[in-house]
Structure 1
Amino acid sequence: MISRRHFLAAGLAASALAACRPARAAPAFDARVRADGRGSHATLAAAIADAPGDGRVPYRILVGRGVWREKLVIDKPNLHLVGEDRHGSVIDFDAAAGMARPDGQAWGTWGCASVIVRAPDFRADSLCIRNSFDYVGNLAAPRFEPIGPNGAQAVALMLDQGADRSHLRDVTLTGHQDTLFTEAGRALFERCVVTGSVDFIFGAGRTRFEHCELQSRFRPGKPRQGYVAVPSTPASQPQGLVFDQCRLTREAAVPDASVALGRAWRPGRSFADGKYGDPAALGSAVFLSCWMDAHIDGALGWEPMAYTARDGQRVMLEPRDARLYEFDSRGPGAVRSPSRRWLRAEQAATYSRAAMFAGWSP
């Protein structure tokens, strides 16, 4: 007969053994989209539609290898897209601002993005988001107005109103004009690649890039090849676009001194007395310890940008009237000149991750 003491000892040993066993791992993904048919959903849109709306826990979607031609709106919180292959898992669409939506109206800059985020705590890892509109072909045979909101702007990713605490790692964003529209909330990009030509990183959000590559693409026949950072930061917001230890590179055909670091954007908005450039927008873009190739315009650095004033006149927002700075720039494009304003070390510290993201620890 087993004594009570032996019974208790055996029970304790069994409990201890059970405690040593690893807990059953939660499924790595809540949904899988795969080209080989072994996924849980046939499309990314279907997987997103099945995500819960409360966002209490992350909803992780595996993006399998392949080109997923979908135009996505992410309006549920805490949704994570994880690629199977950074270069092989591609979300792609080809809408330009001047193209017609299904209802016949133009997409516009605010609607043309391949992926639009309108909810907090979005994450993306190890994939590519692309707008494959034929920008160069449109230069040769224009289909749209050359400027304005209904032209050749073709956004890959937009962080729209409702987005906040967006976090992207090891993601490639590919486009030409207006590739990344970071309009709202706080966002962190780590080890990402952003390619484009005209105004290819722009918007009003509080957005930080760490160890990213910003690649300027070639525009045939254009003396000014493009602009990297074009912020429309509210004047009340202390930081806008911050690039920390990034590399500014180029396609081989992009000439020396042909790309500006950026320009400040004062977007038109509707007010009671008309539509004109928002006087509350005072763009902020800062490059911290970035390496710059020789395509960056050493003498000029930044350029002005036109907007419509309250009286209807077209006026220029000059770089000196915005918040456009550098600190510790390096490389052949890092030329010191009177038009390229540098921060002091103590000023640069106000653009740290902690200063930008108080209350959020990505």
Structure 2
Amino acid sequence: MPIATPAQYAAMLDAAQQGSYAYPAMNVTSLTTMNGALKAFAEKKSDGIIQVSTGGGQFASGLSNNDAVLGAIVLAEACHRLAERYDVLIALHTDHCQPGKVDGFLKPLIQETARRREAGLPNLFQSHMLDASELPLDENIALSKELLKLCAANEIILEVEAGVVGGEEDGVDHSDQPADKLYTTPEDMLAVYEALDGLGRYMFAATFGNVHGHYKPGSVKLRPDILKKGQDAVMQKYGEKAEFDLVFHGGSGTSVEDLQATLEYGVVKMNIDTDTQYAFTRPVVDHIMKNYDGVLKIEGEVGNKKVYDPRSYLKKAEQGVTDRMAAACDGLRSSGNTIFGKV
């Protein structure tokens, strides 16, 4: 039963917090990308998180459907079956859901879990993300409180965000945000804690200059100390129990030093999308370039079925994802830390 139960997921997050490591959380869009992630987690003996965005769900549902909820359910159900073959724990999560998509994406998925629970089945997803960072903080918190109560009633963890992750990712575009919006203040973190404490378990995507996408060294000015200052402010007022389970968005291209500094400040989950997209595509391009005359029927020739068969290059793409996710497990120190069989 490697898809984590609510209790096992909570234990995963506790173990990461206590051990100063974090779980790679990869956005998947297909069985190929999902299998690449599962293979990496298993080989590294790391528990992990597989997540679906609204855009990923639309893609997975097919061009005729373009249905984010349907695609998310299909991917999650597939993961429940595939993960049974691995001796690590996997949690399923949905990524950035903006306020305008809550009623059409988050609430139907929460309802699907409620339906499954009534039928004696496990939760479909173990956590969901509300990205209400586009709203003023008081409105963001009000919506977060509403959804946290709904999630808690179904033993689902909610991820919330205050502050803005810059750049653009899967339809969420914050590339025009002023620099000061990229840094969550200690006052913001106190406000989030005071509003959500006691309503249910949640993770917090506080921002510290992180930006979606991939940039050349020096382009992104990360300030991991922002996380420490916020954690310190909350724990000084409310004690160690108030320590946040933090989430790192926009981590592609981050130096190992900055990455591992965040682990000391309470980051337990790091999203990985841009890097794994490239890791998937790079071997496909390599295959096409090296087999150009075979994948195309040039000048009346017949091509080479062995190299234009999609399996020939998608296997390489899957392995590319595995290799990148394995490196993420090492960088985030989750390798060898599975709690499978212990909880």
TM range (shorter): under 0.3
> Which structure: larger Rg?
1
- Which structure has the higher relative contact order (CA within 8 Å, separation 6+)? 2
Q: Relative to total residues, which structure has the larger strand share, 1 or 2?
A: 1
When the two structures are superposed, what TM-score results if normalisation uses the length of structure 2?
0.26
